Structure 1
Amino acid sequence: MRKISILVERAAYGAFLVGVSSGVVMTMLIFISTLMRYLGGRPLRFSDELAGLLFLTLTFLCLPHVLDKGRHIRIEILMKVVSAPVARIMDAVGAMTLIVFCIAFAYEALDFVEFAKSISSRADISGILLWPWMAVMPFSMLMCILVQFRHGVHQPAPNRSIEEDVI
């Protein structure tokens, strides 16, 4: 079981690195396109489409790692005003809600990917094949489910305080 937990952690981290890399490429693409627009008079014509796809990749591939490290957005004020047993129940309800959401999202996204693949959907200007980019969404949700199972019925707790992140 420990090996599976480590495998899920490493897969989430690997997806995170790919997501961050796509963010770097997206930033460079927008920078180059902006330079070309103002210095050369013409931007890269496909930059907007590709930047959007890279942003999708950045967003969805970073989710599992952020969830694994407990660094996602949460509303902790309620957890602090209720008793410990009620807080544990709320934590479990939150974990179950996440799993149900991820299953529903992955199911719908997978249908979307299959449809896009069946019609060979492509971006308007650049002609980039879209279904591989869309496949990031169900993959991300399935990774989030595995991360949640790794932590059980509890939400992953952040390993550092917010103050440490600021410093």
Structure 2
Amino acid sequence: MPVLAALATLGAFAGIAMVGLIGVSVTMRHLANAPLPYTEELVGLLMTAAFFLALPFVTLKAEHVRVSILVANLPERFRRRVGLAAALFGIVFCIWFFVLSLPWLEFAFSRNLKTEAARLLLYPWMALVPFSLALTAVAFAVRGILGAPGAPVDR
């Protein structure tokens, strides 16, 4: 899915921006005794953005951290069932988290909440959470139907 790859690329750029901000802030702190203001807030927002932008693609490709010793040693017919159960569990979790994130987003939007120091609007950043969870649920569904494309089987 090219859309998921594009979002993951944006997540990678958020990670690069995060590292750049930290590097500039540390350099300014040591050379000019004046770190960049708001670095902590921006880094926190960028880290969250990087995670939630990359999550659907990583889920689709099954390239997240996994402990597969049990599944790798199961007979093939059970592996498929365990993969389907994992996909269903992932979908349920994403739907549950999605439902829980909507009131949180609505609260931030209705009150026009901003970050404490930089005064950045929070709801555009917070909107990534339900958006990402919806796409991640779709990725879990695709993995469940197709049998985890790209998932390595350890032997």
Normalised to the residue count of structure 2, the TM-score between the two structures is 0.91
- 54-63 vs 148-157, which deviates more? 148-157
How far residue 120 of structure 1 moved from its aligned partner, in angstroms, is 1.0
How far residue 110 of structure 1 moved from its aligned partner, in angstroms, is 1.8
How far residue 134 of structure 1 moved from its aligned partner, in angstroms, is 0.8
How far residue 159 of structure 1 moved from its aligned partner, in angstroms, is 5.7
Where does the alignment leave 5 or more consecutive residues of structure 1 unmatched?
1-8, 163-167
Query: 1:28 corresponds to which residue?
Result: 20
In the alignment, is residue 16 of structure 1 matched against residue 11 of structure 2? no
- 61-70 vs 92-101, which deviates more? 61-70
- 75-84 vs 147-156, which deviates more? 147-156
Paired with 2:153 and 2:80, the residues of 1 have a C-alpha distance of: 20
Task: Answer yes or no: is the 8 Å Cα contact 2:52–2:129 preserved in 1.
Answer: yes
Query: 2:64 corresponds to which residue?
Result: 72
Paired with 2:71 and 2:143, the residues of 1 have a C-alpha distance of: 18
Q: 1:147 to 1:63 in 2, by over 3 A?
A: same
How far residue 103 of structure 1 moved from its aligned partner, in angstroms, is 0.5
Percent identity over the alignment is 32
Q: 1:129 to 1:77 in 2, by over 3 A?
A: same
SS state at 1:55 partner? helix
Within 5 Å, give how 1:8-157 maps onto structure 2: 9-153=1-145, 155-157=147-149
Normalised to the residue count of structure 1, the TM-score between the two structures is 0.85
SS state at 1:35 partner? helix
After TM superposition, the runs of 4+ consecutive aligned structure 1 residues lying more than 6 A away are none
Q: Report the RMSD for the aligned CA atoms in angstroms.
A: 1.8
Paired with 1:106 and 1:80, the residues of 2 have a C-alpha distance of: 31
Query: 1:5 corresponds to which residue?
Result: none
Q: How many residues align?
A: 154
Paired with 1:161 and 1:149, the residues of 2 have a C-alpha distance of: 19
